[in-house]
Amino acid sequence: MRYILPLREGGSLPALAEADDDFKYVLKFRGAGHGVKMLISELLGGKITEALGLKIPELVFVNLDADFGRSEGDEEIQDLLKASEGLNLGLHFLSGAIAYDSTIKIDPLLASKIVWLDAFITNIDRTFKNTNLLMWHKELWIIDNGASFYFHHSWQNFDAAAKTPFKYVKDHVLLPQASMLDEANQFAKEKLNDDVFREIVNLIPEDWLHWNDADETPEEIREVYFQFLKTRLKNSEIFVNEAKNARG
């Protein structure tokens, strides 16, 4: 209903906006650089975060009509909003939250779970430079999973991509504190399964699954994501061992 301000620290130029439920959301736009694939990463990564019992702002689908942001004077933002008409994604705005300071010590199992999560979803963007973690009400909250599942940008060799060790884990902001990776792996395997993955993948709107660079139908694309998640969980020791080696 109301565009409040751009959040320029995000590469995809998300924005703070107010919706018709009177709540404020951080909007991620389909018209941004990586388009709907970034929204899919946010959705899948966010729902897997929830399934693991980790803190993440509520995710919502957000419809933008043609009039949204019409009064915005910035030409770059106007173009982004015009390209984002239709179904987008929002995260509930955590008013008063502050960026996580990497010098703050946290529970080693929690750190290990978050490192496990990012290695699982291949999220390259939770580093010392850009933690994408917030402290809110004295708890650690996860935001911004849009740089996950990067295999879908080339859209090939899905099985091989699911079995990669994720070398970028060496740059993870919480890796130095992640001393319980085996315990985190066991925990995740108790929480995640085919039923959870199927439910999450089925949340991807068909509107986001008509790609110019893929021959598959929307249902076939969902199946690729499902098989990726299923295979990656089955072979989690590959990326867990990479993380343990990076710690060493």
| pTM (2 d.p.) | 0.95
Of 1-5, 133-137, 179-183, 244-248, which range is least confident? 1-5
**Torsion angle defined by CA atoms of residues 113, 119, 125 and 127, in that order, rounded to the nearest 10 degrees:** 60
What local confidence, expressed as pLDDT, does residue 66 receive? 75
Is 80 exceeded by the pLDDT of residue 8?
no
Is 80 exceeded by the pLDDT of residue 41?
yes
pLDDT in tens, 106-163: 999 999 999 999 999 999 999 999 999 999 999 999 999 999 999 998 888 899 999 9
Average pLDDT in the chain: 94
Q: In angstroms, rounded to a whole number, what is the distance separating the alpha carbons of residues 209 and 31?
A: 14
Residue 24's nearest CA partner among 42, 9, 3 is: 3
pLDDT band of residue 75 (cuts 50, 70, 90) is: confident
Phi, psi (degrees; rounded to nearest 5) at 144: 60, 85
Q: In angstroms, rounded to a whole number, what is the distance separating the alpha carbons of residues 189 and 237?
A: 11
The CA-based angle 153-238-41, given to 5 degrees, is: 30
**Domain range list for the chain:** 2-33+58-92, 98-247
